[in-house]
Amino acid sequence: MKGFFPLKSCALAISTLLCAQAVAADVPTYAASEKAVKIAQETIIVDGHIDVPYRVKNAWVDVTKATEGGDFDYPRAVKGGLNVPFMSIYVPASLDNSPESTQLAHLLIDSVEAIVARAPDKFAIAKSPSDVKAQFEKGIISLPMGMENGSPLQGDLANLEAFHERGIRYITLAHSQSNHISDSSYDLRRQWNGLSPFGKTLVTEMNNIGIMLDISHVSDDAFYQVIELTKVPVIASHSSLRRFTPGFERNMNDEMVKALGDNGGVIMINFGSSFVTKEAGKWRTGLTQARKALIAAEGEDSPKLEDFEANYRKEVPYPYSTLDEVLDHIDHVVELVGIEHVGIGSDYDGVGDSLPIGLKDVASFPNLVQGLLDREYSRADIEKILSGNLLRVWTQVEEYASKH
């Protein structure tokens, strides 16, 4: 878990409660038609961000088989039609400027390679769009990789080359804290006022080597500096829209989305409820404030802290977003900059128990397709959202690098 969302250990304890709430609150239900299922099964579906590597680091499970917990495993991916989940090589911000950051990144890449080694009939590493397409034809799920947090580079371009060789195809420049590359949207310290000198050099080097620039998590200033410097389109691998979550800098505002569109890039919508609605964000703020108040009153050793979040949820139910609200984000991107600039970056296995009603795990993609059909998106446009837009950017990045 990355520190901003509920722990999955709470999920079982509150499952009965949530079911009762669903009945009481007339929570919407979603069912995919045969047409939606058919589209999901016949289309390449790229998800820009899934946190399986860090999940299995924290508590090992074999995702080549059905698992009881988490949001991703092979049977559910097959059911949902998900065949190109970008595996997130996530390194905590606390490890910046340390050899441990580089070591952890390599260990997490090892874990992705181990998944493939255990089930080569089910999974394969993908290092290019051509790999993705060839593996799709064989019925094999591709596992491309993106590095979440550029900390493992440690300011050394030799590390960039090494990670590219191992299959890293995008790098999220920062995570929850400012690092040696970029300021973070979560960090009030803006030590670089955008990108560091090395970060500015890195933009050019990533263009030249063929690694996509991911501007999720970075500050607004860093975003605009990337857009100014890059020679190819960039991505936001798992971000949503600030229009629906005012004040949440981690999401992109309308002007940024327009700049991304002008750049030719793609924003890949994050499913986490805090990314989708302001109500979920306010709930998280309320939880934090209540916890601080308890500590102030009873101290850090209060036994009430042990199950604080689960108990808080009983008193103040979590306001889950819905599939329809996720679709509102997609609609708004299309209205702003067109169908060519939106994709999917769910953050499955990364946002804990905060996923929307109707999109609870990777088996849910037919529900998303059905929602798009209900909003009168054509099949061609749905295919662009599911994979076409990201594959276009990836191809453009490859083509530029081949000439430099």
pLDDT, one tens digit per residue, over 71-108 is 999 999 999 999 999 999 999 999 998 999 999 999 99
The CA dihedral of 59, 60, 64, 68, to the nearest 10 degrees, is: -40
**pLDDT for 2:** 53
User: Is 15 a residue whose pLDDT tops 60?
Assistant: no
Taking the C-alpha atoms of residue 41 and residue 275, their distance in angstroms, rounded to an integer, is 27
User: Is 159 a residue whose pLDDT tops 60?
Assistant: yes
200 torsion bin: left (phi>0), alpha (psi -120 to 50), beta (else): alpha
User: Is 13 a residue whose pLDDT tops 80?
Assistant: no
User: Is 14 a residue whose pLDDT tops 50?
Assistant: no
Q: What is the mean pLDDT of residues 32-43?
A: 98
Contact 177, 98 (CB under 8 A): no
300-306 long-range contacts (CB < 8 A, ≥24 apart) are none
Q: What is the mean pLDDT of residues 226-239?
A: 98
| Average model confidence (pLDDT) across the chain | 93
Instruction: Assign 5 a pLDDT band (cuts: 50, 70, 90).
Output: very low
Taking the C-alpha atoms of residue 215 and residue 121, their distance in angstroms, rounded to an integer, is 34
| Rounded-to-5 percentages of helix, strand, coil across the chain | 50, 10, 35
**pLDDT for 27:** 80
User: Is 109 a residue whose pLDDT tops 70?
Assistant: yes
Give 362's contacts (C-beta < 8 A, 6+ positions apart): 47, 50, 71, 72, 73, 76, 77, 80, 82, 85, 346, 348
Token pair of 346, please? 């769910």
User: Is 186 a residue whose pLDDT tops 60?
Assistant: yes
**pLDDT for 365:** 98
User: Is 24 a residue whose pLDDT tops 80?
Assistant: no
User: Is 6 a residue whose pLDDT tops 70?
Assistant: no
**pLDDT for 87:** 98
User: Is 4 a residue whose pLDDT tops 60?
Assistant: no
Kindly tell me the number of DSSP H helices and DSSP E strands found in the chain. 17, 10
For 317-336, give the DSSP string.
-----BHHHHHHHHHHHHHH
pLDDT digits (tens, 9 = 90+) for 268-318: 999 999 999 999 999 999 999 999 999 999 999 999 999 999 999 999 999
Lowest mean pLDDT among 19-23, 208-212, 214-218: 19-23
**pLDDT for 182:** 98
Superfamily of domain 32-277+320-402: Metal-dependent hydrolases (3.20.20.140)
The domains of the chain are located at 32-277+320-402, 279-318
